[in-house]
Amino acid sequence: MEIEPLVLGLLCVLLFGAGVLSAVLGLGVRRGSYGRGVTAADGPPRELVTAEVDRTRGQYEIQLTRVSGERDQALANSRHLHARLIELQGSLEARVTAGVDGRLAAELEARVQAGVEAHLAAVLEARVEAGVAARLAETLGKAAARCGPRDTTEAQQPPGPPPQSPAVPHQLPLGRDCAADSTVDGADLGPLIVRAASVRGPRQREDGEHRRDAVMLALVEEMPSPTLLSVVAAGAPLGFWSQSAAQRACRSLASQLGRYGEHLGSVLGPGAHPDPRTDTVPAGHATGPDEAEDSELGGLLRSALQGVGRSVSLVGLNEGGGTSVAAAGVATAADSEVKVALTALLSQLGDHQRRQHVAFGVGDNRVLRLRDGIWESVFTGVREARLPADGGEVRWARFETHPNDLLAVCSPPLAELLLREDLGEWFAGRWAGGRPHLTEFFSDVNVRVRCTGGDRSVVCLWDFGEARRAPAHT
């Protein structure tokens, strides 16, 4: 088959054009690839940049969160350290303060102890010197009495400062009612220190007469609050059974008060308040709005002492059988008569800055108070009244004591010694602010001085307010 030249030429042109077009297209493709390579070399596509930015932002946020957490932890640690520092500072200040206070207290205690020891040493030295001087003077006096002429006017001279040594009896008393020459008792009841003694008078010793006084200390258990009963009973100087009557009066009073214990406890507390100038209510008188209570108190005390009087009246009948044989051998009814002066003191126990007391009795016994070195009378009964006949003549008084006060319930002879100017100062110096041993207290009561009265009987109460302020034994 033959191809026409025109068609062959057209085919050639077409083939050439296809080749040129192919070349042009290949060149364009190469240029586009080169442009795309250059564009990729200049920077990543927008999508890649956005993803990278988001990833970087996430990392930064993570780091920022971690840094914020570390910052918060550091702040918390800082606050904890600050609180711990404040706590350590307070503890250190407390320890330093406690150490300083401890050292100051130790130094103060050491100084006080040194002062007390020096004072005690001085007191002991003074007592030893006084005792030695007294013994020396006594020995010299005995030697002078043996070697020189007897001085008959010695007993008439006024007594000087009383010696330390007590008097000693040289003969036993006569009579069937005789008791011990002397008796002493006492107790340390927390802030209240009590001592009691009854001593035969010097004139009774010389005349061979027996002691007719009696003292007693007892707790009234039937009263609602703890209460101390202190009693001094003085028998008639010439009564045949005075000693037995005095002892019976003391025991009977304790029993009678036990019978009225609950009623007494209800009226002792709310009674009339003492006069602020004297701290003492006049004996047997009610004051203020508490007249009803004081009237009831007076009735109870009167009933109790009338019961004591009935008990005392039986002493002469029981002991003497109504009559007895006197010294001359003649039976007299007067020998069976008994007369007793009785004074008692009811005192609150326990710690009290203003301790309440009630004094009551029949007769001329007295209650004295030592305050600031001065003795003063706070209670005195009816002078001529005696049990059992005058049981209705009871008098009473309410009063208070302050810390370091001293009360003395005493018979008239010892009250006379305490109120004398020279001997009162001596007793005040011996007894003020102290806690005497029983033997020391007995020696003071039994001091060798002349007095116009008979037996010496006393109950002393030292009030220190609180138990921790009471002095220790030396």
Please report, in tens digits, the pLDDT of each residue of the chain (474 residues total). Answer: 555 677 677 778 788 878 778 777 777 766 665 555 544 445 556 777 788 888 888 888 888 888 888 888 888 888 888 888 888 878 777 777 777 677 777 777 777 777 767 776 676 666 656 665 666 666 666 555 555 443 433 333 334 555 555 566 666 766 666 777 889 999 999 999 999 999 988 777 777 787 889 999 999 988 888 899 999 999 887 777 888 899 999 999 999 998 888 888 877 765 444 443 334 444 444 333 344 456 788 888 999 999 999 998 888 777 655 444 444 444 455 555 788 999 999 998 988 889 999 999 999 999 999 999 899 999 998 888 898 888 888 999 999 999 999 999 999 999 999 999 888 999 999 998 778 899 999 989 988 876 666 889 999 999 998 888 888 765
Q: How far apart are CA 218 and CA 227, in angstroms?
A: 9
Q: What is the pLDDT of residue 473?
A: 64
- Reference 345, options 279, 396, 273; nearest CA is 396
C-alpha neighbours within 13 Å on the C-beta side of residue 46: 0
Task: Kindly list the domain boundaries of the chain, sorted by start residue.
Answer: 52-146, 180-469
pLDDT at 123: 65
Per-residue model confidence (pLDDT) at position 247: 92
Q: What angle do CA 369, 370, 373 make, to 5 degrees?
A: 155
Q: Residue 410: which of 363, 447, 448, 357 has the closest Cα?
A: 363
Q: What 3-state DSSP class applies to 362?
A: strand
Among the listed residues 236, 415, 458, 243, the one whose alpha carbon sits nearest the alpha carbon of residue 334 = 236
Residues shown for the chain: 474
Task: Output the pLDDT for position 47.
Answer: 74
Distances (CA, A) of 10 to 6, 17, 21, 71, 385: 6, 10, 16, 86, 183
pLDDT of residue 324: 44
> By the 8 A CB rule, do 465 and 191 touch?
yes
Span 164-197, pLDDT tens digits: 555 666 667 666 667 778 899 999 999 999 999 9
Q: Is the separation of the CB atoms in 258 and 247 below 8 Å?
A: no
Report pLDDT for 321: 53
452 Cβ neighbours under 8 A, 6+ residues apart: 413, 416
Q: Would you identify the CATH topology of the domain 180-469? A: Phosphatase 2c; domain 1 (3.60.40)
Whole-prediction pTM: 0.60
Per residue in 153-165, pLDDT tens?
Answer: 333 333 455 555 5
Which residues, at least 6 apart from 156, have a Cβ–Cβ distance to it below 8 Å? none
The pLDDT of residue 298 is 87
DSSP secondary structure letter of residue 159:
P
Rounded to whole angstroms, the Cα distance separating 312 from 252 reads 8
What is the per-residue pLDDT for 84? 83
The pLDDT score that the predictor gives to residue 31 is 64
443 contacts 164 by C-beta, under 8 angstroms:
yes
**Distance in angstroms between the alpha carbons of the first and the last residue of the chain:** 167
How many CB atoms sit inside 10 A of residue 259's CB?
Answer: 14
- Contact between residue 458 and residue 215 where contact means Cβ atoms under 8 Å apart: yes
Backbone angles phi, psi at 273, to 5 degrees: -80, 140
Cα–Cα distance for residue pair 4/11, rounded to 1 Å = 11
Residue 126, pLDDT score = 67
